[in-house]
Amino acid sequence: MDNTRMVRRHPVILFYLLAFLFSWLGWGPQALHERGLLPFSPPLLGLLGGVGPTLAAVVGVTAVVAVAIVLVYGPRRFAHPSPEVTGASG
């Protein structure tokens, strides 16, 4: 199964996976510090844990929109847009 099909067919699963990933990337080091396994406390990573679902939604929506653009215009046109798509005059 390629990535575009996975994003199109399972956007909710993508959201949950990304939300857990981003949240635990922030909360994991704090939990390790509380157990004495990490010698320093990373205060800004707690913020990442708190905004994990929001960040996952932004990344997920961006992925779904990018897949939709590729499906509509094709990968070649997406990679090298023509002047009428970019608004450039020539």
- How many Cα neighbours within 13 Å face the side chain of 59? 14
Query: pTM for this one?
Result: 0.62
User: What angle separates helix 11-34 from helix 52-73, to the nearest 10 degrees?
Assistant: 150
In the DSSP assignment, the letter for residue 39 is: S
Q: What is the pLDDT of residues 1-34, one digit of tens each?
A: 566 677 678 778 888 888 898 888 888 888 888 8
The answer to whether residues 8 and 67 touch, using CB atoms and an 8 Å cutoff, is: yes
pLDDT (tens digit, 9 = 90+) per residue, 35-45? Answer: 989 888 777 87
